[in-house]
């Protein structure tokens, strides 16, 4: 039943493929359509619980031309007990793919992980028999339904040597060739891949893969392709020379494929990380597009709602193309635009934002808002930059308002706004708005200071007036000032408790009980006798309770 469907759908896919190739893909088309225009598939890894999600199913059908079961074809799913094969979960995914006209990559036959204990505990000869039996049964079951099999998964260490798995320990390095031969015996047509991670760029591990594949080919082992998982993380950098790396495997006469692409980051995500992630996705896409034998790209999931990353890498996530609510992320746009071809490079800036209006002006802050820009260039509005007239950046909000803090009191600001899109295009500047911050601490006191020097010199009398220019009474006060030229008060002074520490130029005068209140618009007088040498220069700054007063 399924086979008939498969034949019918692959015919349909072939016809659709011709149509797509003849007609340029629509700029806004789904990923699979743009990939097909390059003769490549665009795929998704799914599990049965995920394809049951009614919110997700339409996206799977719309965007992808290929599916990989994320877990359902692994040994622990297909042969949990010796000789007891169970295909229901995998069949569900294959059936969905066939309904959608999608191809399926089988994942995976021989792996050190997600393989039941009973397999791992077998002795060498029983393990060899189990390997043959497993591959024969599973590959036969899906014969005609799959595009490719990941026959052997993750056989390498980071240094490029063979991983010391139970397979290697018990069967020796020949287990890899045996697995490929068993798979070919069960299905002469399906493409047979070897698959690994951290082999995406040039390096010791991909060199090891290259040597391994060369030796398999030299031994006449039936291998058709090399899978590059591409589980990337923005904090580790982009793999070096990915395109050249794919190309050297292609030059061995093999297909290559990006099999498990995701790009994780340390949470929380932010616009900078998402933009970096988008460049990684774009680079991977471009690398595959640049290599004729790159068959396609499979992302290891589509929505951040379903991803293996948070469970496997604590504190990391946001690795996929759309968020938990299926809203596209910059990564989606990057992949889409890379697949849609250079012709859609976004050079269109957003429209000019409206003139900023101000509200809530204080001594150090203001709130600005402006009418929003729109963007038609395809990379979407990313946010705004608020500038001062001299070009200083004051804020970079993602929405059309900004609250500025840390401004200088009593200062005129001229500000304007430009919008930015996801490709970095800047709009022209909005009109400029001018506002002035209010005075720092609104001074509500004025101090008068007058001296008369005594005839022979050295002695003086100072009369001080404190006026409350505020609207509320001052209740309890300490006046402070600093002598500028070595003067000293001669205690006790009058109408206040006067103090000047020895060796210090700072003077304080604190109220007495009878003059502790200075009424609004009221004044009080106080004074002292003092000594001076040279010039008896008046203090220039006075504070009342720590706040600067104006000088009369
Ligand atoms: C992951 C699955 O996505 C998880 O659900 C599961 O718990 C662990 O395996 N390399 C592979 C995939 O080849 O099979 C792995 O899939 C991810 C890493």
Residue nearest to atom 4 of ligand 1 (CA): 308
CB of 352 sitting under 6 A from ligand 1: no
Q: Is 70 in the pocket of ligand 1 (CB under 6 A)?
A: yes
Distance CA 353, CA 369 (A): 10
Q: Is 144 left (phi over 0), alpha (psi -120 to 50) or beta?
A: left
User: Which residue from 311, 312, 313, 320 has its CB within 8 A of the most atoms of ligand 1, so it is best to mutate?
Assistant: 312
Helix 2-22 vs helix 88-100: angle between axes, to the nearest 10 degrees? 40
Burial classification of residue 264, based on how many CB atoms lie within 10 Å of its CB (0-12 exposed, 13-18 middle, 19 or more buried): buried
71 CB less than 6 Å from ligand 1? Answer: yes
Distance CA 170, CA 172 (A): 6
Element (H, E) at 393: strand 393-395
User: For 458, phi and psi rounded to 5 degrees?
Assistant: 95, -30
With a 6 Å cutoff on the Cβ, whether 100 touches ligand 1 is no
Reduced 3-state DSSP string for 95-146: HHHHHHCCEEEEEEEECCCCCCHHHHCCCHHHHHHHHHHHHHHHHHHCCCCC
d(CA 19, CA 491): 102
The CA–CA distances, whole Å, from 371 to 290, 368, 403, 418, 433 equal: 42, 11, 15, 11, 13
Residue of minimum CA distance from atom 5 in ligand 1: 308
Per-residue pLDDT, 19 = 36
Residue 225 has phi, psi (to 5 degrees) of -155, 165
**How many angstroms is it from 54 CA to the middle of ligand 1?**
23
Q: What is the pLDDT, as a whole number, of residue 9?
A: 42
Cβ of 69 less than 6 Å from ligand 1: no
Atom of ligand 1 nearest to the CA of 154: 13
Cis amide linkage into residue 268, ω under 30° from 0? yes
Ligand 1 centroid–CA 69 distance in Å is: 10
Is residue 67 within 8 Å of 93, Cβ to Cβ? Answer: yes
Whether the bond between 536 and the residue before it is cis, its omega within 30 degrees of 0, is: no
Q: What is the DSSP letter of 514?
A: G
Please write the tens of the pLDDT for every residue from 239-274: 989 999 999 999 999 999 999 999 999 999 999 999
pLDDT averaged over 10-residue windows placed end to end, the chain, 552 residues: 43 38 57 96 98 98 98 98 98 98 98 98 98 98 98 98 98 98 98 98 96 97 98 92 95 97 96 94 95 97 98 97 97 96 66 96 88 84 88 86 84 93 81 87 83 86 95 90 93 95 91 93 96 91 87 88
Measured between alpha carbons, how far is 159 from 272 in angstroms, rounded to an integer?
32
- In the block, which residue shows the tokens 């799914």? 46
DSSP 55: T
Residue nearest to atom 3 of ligand 1 (CA): 308
CA neighbor of 488 nearest in space, from 473, 498, 478:
498
Residue 430 Cβ inside 6 Å of ligand 1? The answer reads no
- C-alpha 472 chain-centroid distance: 52
Provide the pLDDT for residue 324: 97
Which residue's structure tokens are 């998704």?
44
Ligand 1 centre and the CA of 308: distance in Å?
7
Q: Ligand 1, residue 153: give the atom nearest the CA.
A: 13
From residue 299, give the alpha-carbon distance in Å to each of 155, 261, 270, 347, 464: 21, 4, 21, 28, 80
Report whether residue 229 contacts ligand 1, using a CB cutoff of 6 Å. Answer: yes
DSSP 434-489: EEEPPPSS---EEEEEEEEE-TTSSEEEEEEEEEE-SSS-EES-EEEEE-SSS-EE
- Which residues belong to the active site? 154, 260
């Amino acid at each position: 039943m399924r086979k008939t469907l498969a034949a019918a759908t692959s015919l349909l896919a072939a016809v659709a493929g011709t149509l797509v190739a003849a007609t340029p893909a629509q700029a806004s088309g789904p990923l699979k359509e743009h990939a097909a225009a390059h003769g490549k598939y665009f795929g998704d890894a799914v599990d049965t619980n995920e394809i049951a999600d009614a919110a997700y199913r339409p996206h799977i059908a719309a965007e992808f031309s290929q599916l990989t079961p994320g877990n359902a074809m692994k040994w622990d799913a297909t042969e949990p007990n010796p000789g007891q094969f169970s295909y229901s979960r995998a069949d569900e995914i294959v059936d969905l793919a066939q309904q959608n006209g999608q191809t399926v990559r089988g994942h995976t036959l021989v792996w050190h992980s997600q393989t039941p204990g009973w397999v791992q505990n077998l002795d060498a000869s029983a393990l060899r028999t189990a390997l043959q039996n497993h591959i024969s049964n599973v590959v036969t079951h899906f014969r005609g339904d799959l595009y490719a099999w990941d026959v052997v998964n993750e056989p390498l260490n980071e240094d490029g040597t063979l991983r010391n798995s139970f397979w290697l320990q018990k069967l020796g390095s020949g287990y890899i060739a045996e697995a490929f031969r068993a798979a070919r015996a069960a299905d002469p047509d399906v493409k047979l891949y070897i698959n690994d991670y951290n082999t995406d760029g040039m390096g010791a591990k991909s060199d090891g893969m290259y040597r391994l594949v060369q030796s398999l080919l030299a031994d006449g082992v039936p291998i058709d392709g090399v899978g590059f998982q591409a589980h990337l993380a923005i904090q580790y950098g982009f793999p070096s020379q990915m395109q050249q790396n794919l190309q050297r495997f292609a030059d061995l006469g093999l297909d290559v494929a990006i099999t498990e692409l995701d790009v994780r980051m340390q949470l929380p995500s932010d616009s900078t990380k998402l933009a970096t992630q988008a460049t990684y996705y774009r680079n991977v896409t471009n690398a595959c597009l640049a290599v004729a034998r790159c068959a396609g790209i499979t992302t290891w999931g589509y929505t951040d709602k379903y991803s293996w990353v948070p469970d496997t890498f604590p504190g990391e996530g946001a690795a996929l193309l759309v968020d938990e609510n299926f809203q596209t992320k910059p990564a989606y746009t990057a992949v889409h635009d890379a697949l849609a071809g250079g012709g859609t490079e976004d050079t269109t800036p957003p429209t000019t934002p409206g003139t900023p209006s101000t509200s809530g002006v204080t001594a150090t802050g203001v709130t600005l808002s402006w009418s929003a820009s729109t963007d038609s260039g395809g990379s979407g509005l990313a946010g705004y930059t608020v500038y001062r007239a001299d070009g200083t950046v004051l804020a970079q909000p993602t929405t059309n308002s900004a609250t500025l803090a840390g401004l200088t009191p009593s200062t005129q600001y001229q500000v304007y706004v430009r919008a930015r899109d996801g490709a970095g295009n800047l709009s022209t500047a909005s009109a400029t708005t001018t506002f002035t911050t209010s005075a720092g601490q609104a001074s509500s006191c004025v101090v008068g200071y007058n001296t008369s020097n005594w005839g022979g010199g050295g002695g003086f009398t100072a009369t001080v007036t404190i006026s409350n220019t505020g609207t509320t009474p001052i209740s309890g006060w300490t006046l402070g000032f600093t002598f500028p030229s070595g003067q000293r008060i001669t205690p006790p002074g009058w109408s206040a408790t006067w103090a000047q520490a020895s060796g210090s130029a700072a003077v304080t005068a604190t109220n007495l009980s009878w003059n502790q209140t200075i009424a609004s618009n009221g004044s009080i007088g106080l004074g002292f006798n003092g000594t001076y040498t040279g010039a008896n220069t008046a203090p220039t700054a006075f504070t009342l309770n720590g706040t600067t007063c104006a000088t009369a």
